[in-house]
Structure formats: structure tokens, C-alpha cells
Amino acid sequence: MSEHAISVRGLTKSFSGRRVVDNLEMVVPKGSIYGFLGPNGSGKTTTIRMMCGLLTPDAGEGDCLGFDILQQSGQIKENIGYMTQKFSLYEDLTIRENLDFVARMYKMTNRKARVDKALEDLGLADRAKQLAGTLSGGWKQRLALAACMIHEPEVLLLDEPTAGVDPKARRDFWDEIRRLAGKGVTVLVSTHYMDEAVQCDYIAYIAYGKKLIDGLAREIPSMVGLSTWLVEGPELGALEAALRKDPGVGQVARFGTVLHVSGIDTAALEKVAERETAKKTHDWTRKEAGLEEGRVQVAARPLGAHHGPLPPGDHQDEDGARGVLRVLLEVAEVHPHLPHPA
């Protein structure tokens, strides 16, 4: 039996002469929460649509749940749940009516029982008669997830599912994702929220259609050669502003009364620490990553190198590309050491 839920190789897709996904390879282990990171316009949505059979790649191959993405897209669609960026259910139907409609689409014979269970699982039972169009963003999100899970799929594909919802709704949503993963559901979720990325077992980062790095989330620090110092003392605001302009510093993040100063150039960051320590105004302490040292050279494409229309769902964000390493540093800095998924 295969140990992966999704495996793709050489995935390539172009729109109007612009290559949106470029020779992408990815393996998503069964039962894992796999974070798919990248700036807007990096090709995340297009990749997900190819994985679930909604788009045919120009080149490449792969399988999802053992079904060929090129030849067996129908079987893939029957066995996965796909939650799009935009709420796509009927706003003039009630919550129950929407779920019943989805159950009909899957030709379920025990529709009422399945709908009742979906309402209960997602905390929607008390709102079952409410029109979907009157729901807040967080409740629409719950309804969309219930619709995705009503047929009990083995794989769940979530395309930036919490964009535009409040922090509490995002936390509640992730509680549900972890519950599903605990039951063996494989979850592939695209996001640009760091507090969501750090909850994933695995992380892949793409920019301009190319995968830059992937692996166990707990191993990302060593893969990018991360070095971190903790800084404590008075007037951290002024110091933070100064450090952000220092070429030897890659990232500065404030956690309460402590600055986390990180970079992938260890020697340059040590010089910064030595210089600031000599001033005797702040306490600098090296924070060991606790993982085997390693480096991955990540080369982002030049900004502004791509022109032409974008496919639906992918929107160019050149500022996001500037933060490729910054994002990886943030993930590495705050990620808890998760156990390897079963």
C-alpha cells in the first residue's frame, strides 16, 4: 500500500504564454497536514486544481489516492474534498439545503443522516435553517468545510480557506483540521498566514511556479541554515527599527519583551551581535536551533520578470516574492518541534 496520498512529478502549466507552474514535484504523505506556502500568484491554486483533476497539466504526471491525475480525474473528484478560496455554495439556500444539495450531487442514499452528522460535527445544527448568504465569514467557512467533508473523503484540499476571517474563526477552523487529521484525513492547505503554517507537519514553499524548498516543518530551520539570537533590554522599539535596516540581519520579530533576531548568514549575524553586545545596552543570547546544520540555496526569480494575464485564482504579488527567505525564517523561528506524523 502506498504511503503517500498525493504524488506529482514535473507538473507544468502555462496560461497565455506565461508559465504558472514550472516542473513541480511534490509528495504528500497520508494522514499529514501539508502546508503549501507562497506569495499570491505563485501557482498554488493552479497546482491544487491539477492535483484534483480540475485542470489538465501541459506536462507532468502523478496520482491522488492512487488515481492517475491525467486519466482518472473523475475518480479523484469522487474521493476528495476541495474547498476553494471563494465561498461557492448557494447564498439563497439555507445551511441544511446547501448540504442536502451536495449530498444529492454525491448520490448519497442516507442523505438526511449524513446532513445531520455534518451539521453536528461543524457546530451548525442550531443554524441549519439560516440562509447561507446571511452568515459571517467564519460561519461560511464552517459550512464550506462541512460540504467538503459530507462524503467523508480521504483527502482534503483547502485553498487559502481562512482568508478574510477573524482570528477566532481561524483558530476554530484549525481545531477542526487537526481533528480530521487525527482521524486519518490527509490535508493539503495553501496559506500565507504564518500562525497557520507552523501547525503543519510538512511545508512546501513555491514562488513563480517553482518549488523552492519542502520537507518536515521541524527541519526547515536547518534546511535554511537559520541562526537566531534573543535580545532583551530597554527601548526595544528603537533597536528593532535599527536592526531591520542592518544588512547582516534577515528577520526581526518581537515576542512580548524579547526580540528574535534571525538570519541565514551566521557570520554576519554574529558580527551584529558582537557589535551590539559591546554597547552593553541589551542582552544578546544565542538561540540554538537544536537541529542538524544545513543549507539550501534559495534563488528567487527577478521581480517583474513575468507579464501577461494570470489564471483564475492566482494573483501576482511581487512584494511577496521579496519575502521568500523571510517567510521561511518566520516559519523556522516559531515552529514547535512536531513529531513525525504517523
SS3 229: strand
**3-state SS, one letter per residue, for 156-190:** EEEECCCCCCCHHHHHHHHHHHHHHHHCCCEEEEE
Instruction: Look up residue 6 and give its three cell numbers.
Output: 498525493
Residue type at position 341: P
106-125 as b/e: b if 16+ CB within 10 A: eebeebeebbebbbebbebe
Describe the crossing of helices 167-182 and 137-149 by its angle, rounded to 10 degrees.
Answer: 20
- The candidate with the shortest Cα–Cα distance to 138, out of 153, 127, 150, 149, is 127
- Provide the CATH number for the domain formed by 227-287 in this structure: 3.30.70
What does each of the 342 residues of the chain score in pLDDT, given as a tens digit?
578 999 999 999 999 999 999 999 999 999 999 999 888 888 999 999 999 999 999 999 999 999 999 999 999 999 999 999 889 999 999 999 999 999 999 999 899 999 999 999 999 999 999 999 999 988 999 999 999 999 999 999 999 998 878 888 888 889 999 999 999 999 999 987 777 888 899 999 888 889 988 989 878 767 777 788 999 999 999 999 999 999 999 888 888 899 988 888 889 999 999 999 999 999 999 986 432 222 222 332 333 333 334 444 544 443 443 344 454 544 444 443 333 333
What pLDDT is stored for residue 197 in this prediction? 80
- The candidate with the shortest Cα–Cα distance to 274, out of 246, 308, 237, is 246
What pLDDT is stored for residue 310 in this prediction? 41
The DSSP symbol for 150 reads: T
Give DSSP secondary structure letters for 57-89: -SEEEEEETTEETTT-HHHHHHHEEEE-SS--S
- Provide the CATH number for the domain formed by 4-219 in this structure: 3.40.50.300
Instruction: Look up residue 297 and give its three cell numbers.
Output: 540555496
- The candidate with the shortest Cα–Cα distance to 313, out of 42, 12, 19, is 42
What pLDDT is stored for residue 302 in this prediction? 35
- Kindly list the domain boundaries of the chain, sorted by start residue: 4-219, 227-287
What pLDDT is stored for residue 288 in this prediction? 60
Asked if residues 263 and 248 have their Cβ atoms less than 8 Å apart, the reply is yes
Distance CA 269, CA 246 (A): 10
Helix, strand, coil tally for the chain in percent (to 5): 35, 25, 40
Instruction: Look up residue 234 and give its three cell numbers.
Output: 530597554
Describe the crossing of helices 137-149 and 95-105 by its angle, rounded to 10 degrees.
Answer: 30
Q: What angle do CA 178, 183, 186 make, to 5 degrees?
A: 70
What pLDDT is stored for residue 233 in this prediction? 95
pTM, entire model? 0.76
